[in-house]
């Protein structure tokens, strides 16, 4: 369920399918049956809260708060804040595996999971920044756990991560009381359970502004100009020194192409095409189409590992990688649809 795109907004009261126990200090009063996903990066249980300036957790706030990243977020600019809860299926299996991995010996079996995600959200007055993080509440009916996962975190002013109760229990992951913007990017590499945080999407190669991508124009049926390849690419007997990233979900080598209706590949098209998802995409509505190429660094190492994993025995060593990504793009006449693709 997606939160409204309102500065300092949040969800309405969310009825929990399973009561959640949070610091059982006042008997049944701490058995939470409602929750609020506040846009500024935290959960509350008693009411929604619009506070965009974090309160240090060693100061009495008068309420229970779980804050994966409490800061001044403005999802009107970009980003999606959403939540869901589960009482069966693969998410419970994943949560059970995670808790038993992180806390061996507890013999845990998840019966309910609540997931709230801040996906590529912007900070107030900093439109275009992208920050991703997630909080996961897990319960077995007898024990409760809170997990916080972090993707790319843009620097922000006075962020706060951790939790506090309406009593005396609190914990701060990081806090800065300086006025300058703080680089919180190392959150994704921090862990108290020896597991690094969330990366969105986990199977994708690096993409976006943080990776230095070149962005295609926001034009229906548009695409990139000719991209000069740093390394000639051999494709079934043809060697190319340039490529075109077409907005409708495919690569061509001879020229750009605006065709939004796929041609079946068993029909002669007269050109070489690589299509991760050829369909009628309109990135004017939402989404970013971008590309980059690499001849050194971690992307080459990742590609080398991937190919040797997928095709054991080839003894492959990547010297060049080209990555094109269709990130959260909409379909034509279906503004608001979201799609991830990469090739």
Indicate if the pLDDT at residue 252 is higher than 90: yes
3-class state of residue 290 by DSSP: strand
Q: How confident is the model at residue 338, as a pLDDT?
A: 57
Cα 150 to chain centroid distance, Å, stands at 8
* Spatial distance between the Cα atoms of 71 and 124, rounded to a whole number of angstroms: 9
Please state the pTM of the whole predicted model: 0.60
Beta bridge partners of 14: 35
Distance from CA of residue 23 to its chain's centroid? 29
Q: How confident is the model at residue 25 (pLDDT cuts 50, 70, 90)?
A: very low
* Paired tokens of 98: 């995670």
pLDDT of residue 58: 74
- Beta strands 156-157 and 42-44 are unpaired
DSSP secondary structure letters along 172-209: EEEE---SSEE--GGGGG--SSS-----SSTTSPS-SG
């Amino acid at each position: 369920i997606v939160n409204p795109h309102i500065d300092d907004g949040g969800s309405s009261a969310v009825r929990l399918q399973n009561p959640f126990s949070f610091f059982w200090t006042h008997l049944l009063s701490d058995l939470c049956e409602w929750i609020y996903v506040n846009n500024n990066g935290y959960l509350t249980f008693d009411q929604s809260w619009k506070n965009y300036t974090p309160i240090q957790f060693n100061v009495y706030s008068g309420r229970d708060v779980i804050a994966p990243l409490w800061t001044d977020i403005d999802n009107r600019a970009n980003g999606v804040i959403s939540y869901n809860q589960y009482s069966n299926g693969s998410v419970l299996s994943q949560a059970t595996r995670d808790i038993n991995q992180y806390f061996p010996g507890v013999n845990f079996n998840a019966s309910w999971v609540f997931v709230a995600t801040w996906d590529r959200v912007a900070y107030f007055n900093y439109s275009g920044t992208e920050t991703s993080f997630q909080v996961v509440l897990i319960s077995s009916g007898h024990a409760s756990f809170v997990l916080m996962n972090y993707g790319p975190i843009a620097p922000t002013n006075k962020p706060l991560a951790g939790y506090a109760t309406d009593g005396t229990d609190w914990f701060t992951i990081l806090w800065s009381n300086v006025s300058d913007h703080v680089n919180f990017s190392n959150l994704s590499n921090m862990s108290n359970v020896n597991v690094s945080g969330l990366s969105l999407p986990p199977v994708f190669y690096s993409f976006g502004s943080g990776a230095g991508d070149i962005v295609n124009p926001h034009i229906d049926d548009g695409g990139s100009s000719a991209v000069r390849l740093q390394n000639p690419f051999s494709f079934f007997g043809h060697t190319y020194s340039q490529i075109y990233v077409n907005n409708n979900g495919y690569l061509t080598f001879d020229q750009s192409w605006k065709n939004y209706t796929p041609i079946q590949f068993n029909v002669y098209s007269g050109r070489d095409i690589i299509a991760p998802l050829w369909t009628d995409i309109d990135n004017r509505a939402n989404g970013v189409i971008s590309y980059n190429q690499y001849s050194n660094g971690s992307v080459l190492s990742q590609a080398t590992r991937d190919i040797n994993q997928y095709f054991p025995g080839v003894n492959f060593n990547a010297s060049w990688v080209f990555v094109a990504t269709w990130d959260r793009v909409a379909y034509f006449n279906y503004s608001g649809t979201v799609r991830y693709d990469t090739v």
